[in-house]
Chain A
Amino acid sequence: MSHKILNSIVLVLWMALIIFGAAGLIERLRHGHESAAYGSYVVWGLWVSAYVYFIGLSAGAFLLSSLIYVFGVKELAKVGKLSLFMAIVTLFMALISIWFDLGRMDRFYMVFTSPNFGSMMAWMVWLYTAYTLLMLVELWMALRPDLARWAGQEGWRATIGRVLSLSKGPLNEKQEQSAGHWLRVLAAAGIPLAISFHGGVGALFSTLSARPFWHTPLMPILFLTGALVSGGALMAFVVAGFWPKRDEEYRRMVEYLGRAVLGLLVFDLILEWAEFSVPMWYGVGGEYALLMTVLFGPFWWAFWILHFGLGTLLPMLLLVLKPKQPWAVGWAGVLVAVTFMTVRLNIVIPGLIEPHLQGLQNAFVHRRLTFHYVPSLFEWQVTLFVVALGLAIFYLGRHLLPLTEEASEHAR
């Protein structure tokens, strides 16, 4: 009974979220960028940050699934399919976020028809196109044996199974082996692909010599680590919170994920220390001033409270003190995964708020020509719409596809 009430509450909240978000979407489609707060000097804002954030989650979840398939991590063997699916969902969220940011949404295809392979952005688009295709085939290989088993049964599962597995009944042993074989091959080939495309997202920023805040060789490494931390944390949360069967194996799985997240958090903290301490150490220079703005400027709380307190310290404490408790790992996971958005915002926006030519902000005054940026309500609406959409796809996938152990069991 209480389960039912909880479900209805979640549904009502989701409906509120998607209606609130859809209002922003309609505004975006009808009036373009009119209600957005970014402009000509701070050209990128919430949506680009959200894009970087979601694509990081995707790369992280994907790398986790690949490690499972390629290296055969026994403790996590069953998380592979769910990780892969999460990687696809978050990639989709990333791509629509960045699509809304384009000045000409109708011309996105130009990156395919007229690519400049000297541009990091063109590389990024081509690499994540390859990544999308690879993931779709890989997920199909991972799910096909179970889907084919569904195909032989009755009810809605049979229909889904038949359509998606392209098979009328269970696969024979040879077919199953072949699916497993190609799954491993694609998972392994996906590792360098995911590293290059997400490192490439970091390089997209760090190759710009005009932006000293971004122009650091550490950036691609920082992006990859961030992806692993946030994607791993997301998976720890999803497994801890949504795994159907709460047995001993589940507890071992969650503990393993928790330990991985803790290790990655520590490594990320070391990189972050380098990122802040090196430019700031002697207290002089342009980057010193920018980092001081990040740490003690008007949005100090985004760094100290959201990122450092809730996103780093508290999860670390939970993971160190209660490593065997699924609730602790789940909370640590969701805290890290959600608050990681502040890290992305603190990379994208400070890089743009400092003019090289002092006084430019007063030269020709307009609200689009300032170096001050706070995301508008409309921008949040569009991002929340993307979140609501992602949640819906996750929900549907979890219920309609054999992504977890329970679902696979229906197949036997």
Chain B
Amino acid sequence: MGMNRREFVQVGLLVGGAGAAGAALLIKTNLSKETSDPTGAATVRRLPVLNNIRPQENEDMLVRMQRELVRAMAKPVEQRHWRMVIDTRKCIGCHACTIGCVAENKLPPGVVYRPVVTEEFGEYPNVQLRFTPRPCMQCNSPPCVPVCPVKATWKRPDGVVAIDYDKCIGCGYCVTACPYNARTRDLGEYYTDGAAVGATREPDRPVLGPHAPWEDKPNNEYAKGWDRRNGDSPAGNARKCHFCLHRLEVGQLPMCVTTCVGRATYFGDGNDPESVVSQMAAKPNSMRLLEHLQTHPSVVHLI
């Protein structure tokens, strides 16, 4: 056996042709970084919210951010860049943001968008706590986006990293690619699955039922009604924080911002130099989580 010259040439053609096709695909993919979102004037929202409330000194930060949000929404989508600034010194570790987010987005077991990391320093009597809320960092160099095999996730023109639940195949690759563990996997579970719904005559034998009907209520992520019944998306998908895009669209701040008891979370348009986030992000005590990984997060922490 062994190969003759003609066979060798044919192998060369096969391998060379396949290699050239592959290289062409790779170049084409890397040249066109398209986004799946519309841009331009059509994306401008005319939100009438707060028109009748005049700015005043010492107003609640939420009112100011609300006003800035309306201003930002009046611009085409590519001209705003959503940012979040979290003041860890003001965070009291109440987890209201985590729970507010779970309620807003109807997150199932195993899925969390904004946990609050609690760290304890020192030994008695010199003990300190630090709370670090961790939403999606909405990185400007997101490691999770290029790994998706089916183009189901992308960076929006306004800076938010979005997922198309109708496309995601649930392979988990993006979940492994995120250094912040900000993506979680919806495995199609319910908190109340197998919970007691009644009692038999025997005292210690409760009747276990299917999950409660309120867990079937669709959520409104990406301004679409998502019904997880029958294992439909987003069940089976990767999920992550999206700065409550569906709320921004109707002139509401993200849920974690509005539920923050200590007003420790600031949110707004980083392209607006007058916005509170632009001012806060420039403080010398600002830092970005895992900055050395060069993911360039849109979320800044003040320490």
Question: Footprint of B on A, CB under 8 Å?
Answer: 32-34, 36, 39-41, 43-44, 69-72, 77, 101-104, 107-108, 110-111, 114-123, 125, 130, 180-181, 184-185, 188-189, 192-193, 204, 207-211, 351-352, 355-360, 362-364, 366-369
Contacts and interface: CB of A to CB of B under 8 A. Distances in A.
B236 A32 contact: yes
Given A32-B236, A43-B172, A364-B98, 9 more contacts: A40-B181, A116-B148, A116-B149, A119-B148, A122-B150, A193-B18, A208-B143, A356-B179, A363-B98
B177 A130 contact: no
B119 interface: yes
A121 B185 contact: no
A211 B176 contact: yes
A208 B29 contact: no
Given A115-B149, A119-B148, A210 B176 contact: yes
A356 B180 contact: yes
Contacts of A33: 187-188
B208 interface: no
Contacts of B180: 356-357
B15 A184 contact: no
Given A103-B170, A120-B147, A368 B187 contact: yes
A261 B126 CA distance: 60
A362 B18 CA distance: 49
Interface of B: 1-3, 7-8, 10-11, 14-15, 18-19, 22, 25-26, 28-30, 95, 98, 109-112, 115-119, 132, 134, 143, 146-152, 167-173, 175-181, 183-189, 231, 233, 235-238, 289-290, 293
Contacts of A130: 18
B135 to A, nearest CB: 12
Contacts of A102: 169-171, 236
Nearest to B112: A364
A204 B173 CA distance: 9
A355 B181 contact: yes
5 nearest interchain CB pairs? A103-B170, A368-B110, A72-B1, A103-B236, A363-B115
A104 B168 contact: yes
B149 A121 contact: yes
B14 A185 contact: yes
A119 B146 contact: yes
Contacts of B231: 32
B185 A103 contact: yes
A364 B115 contact: yes
Contacts of A34: 187-189
B236 A359 contact: no
B187 A111 contact: no
B147 A192 contact: no
A360 B178 CA distance: 14
A360 B98 CA distance: 13
A103 B150 contact: no
A315 B2 CA distance: 31
Contact of A40 (B7, B111, B167, B171): B111
Contacts of B149: 110-111, 115-116, 119, 121-122, 125
A359 B179 contact: no
B172 A359 contact: no
18 contacts: A32-B188, A33-B187, A33-B188, A36-B187, A40-B185, A72-B1, A103-B187, A104-B233, A121-B147, A188-B3, A189-B18, A209-B293, A352-B176, A359-B119, A360-B181, A366-B109, A368-B109, A368-B110
